[in-house]
Amino acid sequence: MTSRPARSAARPPGPLEPLLALDARLEGVWAWVQAQMRPDAAHDDAHLLRVARWTLRCAPEVAPVLAVAAALTHDVVNLPKNHPQRAQASELGAQAVKEALPALGFTPADAHEVALAVRDHSYSRGAVPQTPLGAALQDADRLDALGALGVLRVAGVGGQLGRALLDPLDPWAQTREPDDLAFTVDHFFTKLLRLEGAFHTPAGQSEARRRTRTMRAFLAELAAELEVDPPGE
């Protein structure tokens, strides 16, 4: 696992503080993630914070400390989209979480539950979570791929990987197979617009519908600027 340089122990007050204040153990979880995780344009501290908030909303029946711990650790092994082991990243992360959390004050049973959620959250792995925590974490992580944030994140990753924005001859992949390794906009068709029907929790389902409408509106505006018909028409 590639580590990033440790940050200063002094952290200015911010939106993370109320989450860490839920349980004293979460400070240790956050420090461990900071030491281990390799962030990128779409998987950074702000992403972890947003996923934590939505995991709490999607799993009101789950102990808050476990919901936040799962969210903060879910990308602790973060491999680039084009990495050959990308599909195994969540399994590697789950193993790391299962080993680390007991030393941070969690019971083996709680560490196992968090690790299962981390293992099953990944879109690449294609798993259906078997626990309420897993379902909530998967929903929360997928919500961050949708809406205005989703547009920003897919553009950020596309730039990081050197993808072209779109195919000028066929921007909606109507006469070819979508290729999101070549064109950023193709990721809407290989993944993002397919997510709406795959949410598990009522909170996640409702928010996914709203955010998907935002993304479709973005594509309609993009079509107008390209002077072509919108996708699906």
pLDDT at 71 over 70: yes
Write out pLDDT tens, residues 195-208. Answer: 999 999 999 999 99
pLDDT of residue 89: 77
| Rounded mean pLDDT, 53-62 | 96
Q: Is the pLDDT of residue 10 over 50?
A: no
Among candidates 83, 81, 11, which has minimal Cα distance to 49? Answer: 11
Which pLDDT does position 82 carry in this prediction? 59
Residue 78 confidence class, pLDDT cut points 50, 70, 90: confident
> What mean pLDDT is predicted for residues 175-186?
95
In Å, how far are 109, 144, 209, 226 from 232, measured between CA atoms?
A: 47, 24, 18, 15
Q: How confident is the model at residue 124 (pLDDT cuts 50, 70, 90)?
A: low
* Closest residue by Cα to residue 124 from 71, 184, 186, 81: 81
pLDDT at 52 over 60: yes
Q: pLDDT digit string (tens) for 16-36?
A: 899 999 999 999 999 999 999
The percent helix, strand, coil of the chain (3-state, each to 5) is 60, 0, 40
Rounded to whole angstroms, how far apart are CA atoms 175 and 164?
Answer: 18
| Average pLDDT value for residue range 211-228 | 97
pLDDT at 50: 95
Residues 59 and 204: their CA atoms lie apart, in Å, by 10
Of 86, 31, 26, residue with least CA distance to 55:
26
Q: How confident is the model at residue 73 (pLDDT cuts 50, 70, 90)?
A: very high
